[in-house]
Amino acid sequence: MSSEGVIEGWVSNVKILGKIAFIEVIDGLNLSPITVVVRKDSGSVDWSKVSAVKLGSAIRVKGVYPEKVVSKKGREIHADEIEILAEPRDLPPIDVTGKTPASFEDYINYRYLALRLPRVRAAFLARSLIVNEIRSFFSERGFLEVHTPKIVKAGAEGGATLFEVDYFGVKAYLAQSPQLYKQMLMCGVPRVFEIGPFFRAEKFSTTRHLNESWGLDVEMGFIKGMEDVLEVLSQLVVHLSHKLNERLGDALRGLGYNVIKPVTSVRVLTYDEALEVLNSLGFNLKWGEDFDPKAEKSLGDYLEEKGVQAYFIVDYPWESKPFYIMKKDEKRGYAFDLDIRGIEVASGGQREHRYEVLRQNLLEKGLNPEDFSFYLEAFKYGMPPHGGFGLGIDRLVMTFLGVQNIRETVLFPRDRFRLVP
């Protein structure tokens, strides 16, 4: 049975065959256009407007959804009224029909137009789905969502990778991580998570780094060991990969994305085991060295050939990790990375919760405990054993979709060369 409806969107294609017009409209959050069918002899629509409608116009259509759809696009409405709400004043800088590809830079510069293209909007539908599922995942497990400051007095990791801010005459910084604050919260709340931006003032020129990124930060109190953190993060990866495939997998693959297969488990390798594999692949890495992107990619390719898409690397050298990581022994720390398809997506571990040991860690890393006094204060009042992780949402979307450049997953990316739009 036919039903009435209203659609609103942008004209992406127009075909007029005799006394019938077919107007394709990108509407709502759909990944395919709806075909608006207009008959000249219907008398209900001003044919002169229909025959002159411009590509890119914003329109509103009232009409009837037919019982039988003829359009190959899969959706169709027969128009009774068409209202042209806005017409383009200039030719669009990119082809909104998608027939003529634009440059990678143009797709970023005109992202607001590119979102009319199914492939581009699909990436951000996937990102939105992932963020929503993250929020549901942690809320359902008793985590409190928090929002920590993004203007801070001290960096979470020290060093020179901070954007300096003049805060009413006092030197401050844009937060590079909510690490210190989420640990402090463990003194009053057992489980927290945050989804928010972080900033790194490094002169990156890679396909997987940005200077403004969005991340997920999680912290858990009263843990028995780092394994508790690994378990939660493993469950999250499995959950997200299944939800993405279930809801958008076919559509994304149809648009050319190399979507990750549903993950059933996350493998665990020690740093020593990863080092051994890499050196067997031709690298000449010494114990204690961090893995550069080339090494990470080679390890990822090696494991993916064996059917492993996601994996933890645990027991890192303590020297290569931040001061708040608990030592496992004289050389190693309770720290891990999560890599997916050869790209580091998250890092975390068990934190040092003992006040005196934490203070000593700061000194060993060449940091002044006085600069972290606001943070150390929280460790005097019954701080439980705790651990957590930080996960890059931009990178997670990148690896799940199988794209080569992180800028494809960020609406308006910020890197060392890009401050607008």
Structural domain spans, the chain: 3-86, 118-147+190-197+205-409
Per the annotation, does 359 bind a ligand?
A: no
Check residue 342 and give its pLDDT: 96
Per the annotation, does 407 bind a ligand?
A: no
Rounded to an integer, the average pLDDT of 239-257 is 98
Neighbours of 256 (CB within 10 A): 11
49 band by pLDDT with thresholds 50, 70 and 90: confident
Per the annotation, does 253 bind a ligand?
A: no
Per the annotation, does 86 bind a ligand?
A: no
User: Would the CA dihedral through 211, 212, 216, 221 be positive or negative?
Assistant: positive
282 band by pLDDT with thresholds 50, 70 and 90: very high
Give catalytic residue positions.
200, 202, 208-209, 344, 347, 395
Alpha-carbon gap, residue 40 to 43, rounded angstroms? 7
Per the annotation, does 267 bind a ligand?
A: no
Q: Any bridge partners for residue 414, and if so which?
A: 212
Check residue 159 and give its pLDDT: 58
- Do 138 and 145 form a contact (C-beta atoms < 8 A)? yes
E strand intervals along 114-230 = 144-145, 151-152, 164-167, 170-174, 191-199, 212-221
Q: What integer best gives the mean pLDDT of the chain? A: 94
Percent of the chain past pLDDT 70, that is, above it, reads: 98
* SS3 category, 225: coil
Instruction: Output the CA torsion 229→235→236→242 (10° steps).
Output: 170
Q: Is the pLDDT of residue 208 over 60?
A: yes
160 band by pLDDT with thresholds 50, 70 and 90: low
Q: Is the pLDDT of residue 157 over 90?
A: no
Check residue 2 and give its pLDDT: 73
Domain topology for 118-147+190-197+205-409: BirA Bifunctional Protein; domain 2 (3.30.930)
Q: Does domain 3-86 have CATH number 3.40.50.1000?
A: no
Residue 55 is inside which H or E element, if any? Answer: none
Q: Is the pLDDT of residue 393 over 60?
A: yes
